[in-house]
Amino acid sequence: MKIACIQVDVHFGNPDKNYENIENKIRDAVSKQNVDTIILPELWDTAYDLSRLNEISDSNGERAKSLLSKLSKEFAVNIIGGSIACREGNGIYNTSLSFNRKGEHIGTYSKAHLITLMEEEKYISSGKNSSMFKIDGILSTAAICYDIRFPEWIRAPFLKGAKILFVPAQWPIQRQTHWRALLMARAIENQCYVIACNRVGQDPNNTFAGQSMIVDPWGDIIAQGSSGDEEILFADISPELVEEVRAKVPVFNDRRTDLY
């Protein structure tokens, strides 16, 4: 399965510009390689313009659904749609929407752990459910940015058979060592692929780390983005490697469920 991870800058509080950029980048990715699955970064529509979300968030994610469904069908690719600011009822959620090759909406995940350091909880409501969806028959899950600091949350879908973790992010550069270590740790402990797409560029409060990464179930980084530039990261993954690593080091069987 060929992955394309779209590492981009995101215009602060300007969905129109971001929609144009993301559509161009998706068209660029599929024109360059025979891609199966595309992943986008966190809040690629609004960035962290939290105080204006009432004005600029996407009502029920309709705008994002329409674009991502159209492009996934047109190019017969799976799209893990990063995340968008999604208005639902009285709340605004940081929500990841996924689509299969037929343009069908197959997964929704709203970020559960809101980063108080960036005052996210003041503007965004937290999701309550973890996610499971199938990409070309492979059980997968999504977590968003700060979520990767909570291994017990990430673990849950892997106990139910997930093999790939998709991570859209807007991770700041001053904690880039955490980003790298946490992604590798989540891959090693869950013996899964971790496909993590971070943004680059700056907003009024932060410079972002880039370094999007694809980590295999052995914990090896098989592709990595630069820290400053927009780029599309390509890598081939083999879900059979998940089974091989789990057979070699059977940590799932060796868990002490009698103790915890």
Q: Which stretch binds ligand AKG (CB under 6 A): 25-33, 72-80, 172-180, 247-255?
A: 172-180
Q: Is 86 in the site for ligand AKG (CB under 6 A)?
A: no
Strands 193-198 and 213-215: antiparallel
Q: Tell me the closest approach of the beta carbon of residue 47 to ligand AKG, in angstroms.
A: 11
**111 classed as catalytic:** yes
Residue 198 · residue 82 · CB < 8 Å: no
Q: Is 175 in the site for ligand AKG (CB under 6 A)?
A: yes
**86 classed as catalytic:** no
Q: Tell me the closest approach of the beta carbon of residue 229 to ligand AKG, in angstroms.
A: 19
Q: Tell me the closest approach of the beta carbon of residue 10 to ligand AKG, in angstroms.
A: 12
Q: Is 172 in the site for ligand AKG (CB under 6 A)?
A: yes
Q: What is the DSSP letter of 233?
A: E
Closer residue to ligand AKG in complex, CB, 210/239: 210
Q: Which two tokens stand for residue 51?
A: 């105080």
Closer residue to ligand AKG in complex, CB, 145/162: 145
**145 classed as catalytic:** yes
Q: Is 115 in the site for ligand AKG (CB under 6 A)?
A: yes
Q: Tell me the closest approach of the beta carbon of residue 72 to ligand AKG, in angstroms.
A: 25
Count of residues for the chain? 260
Closer residue to ligand AKG in complex, CB, 118/185: 118
Q: Is 93 in the site for ligand AKG (CB under 6 A)?
A: no
CA distances from 87 to 55, 71, 106, 193, 211 (A): 10, 22, 19, 31, 29
Q: Which two tokens stand for residue 166?
A: 């998709």
Q: Is 155 in the site for ligand AKG (CB under 6 A)?
A: no
Here's the x/- map for ligand AKG, 125-154, by CB under 6 A: it reads as --------------------xx--x-----
Residue 56 · residue 19 · CB < 8 Å: no
CA distances from 29 to 25, 71, 168 (A): 6, 12, 17
Report long-range pairs for 113-121 (Cβ below 8 Å, ≥24 apart).
113/146, 113/147, 113/149, 113/150, 113/153, 114/146, 115/145, 115/146, 118/48, 118/50, 118/205, 118/206, 119/50, 120/48, 120/50, 120/94, 120/146
From 219, 169, 173, 172, select the one nearest 196 (Cα to Cα). Answer: 169
Q: Is 171 in the site for ligand AKG (CB under 6 A)?
A: yes
Judged by the rule CB under 6 A, the positions of this chain that interact with ligand AKG are 115, 118, 145-146, 149, 170-172, 175, 178
Active-site residue set:
42, 111, 145
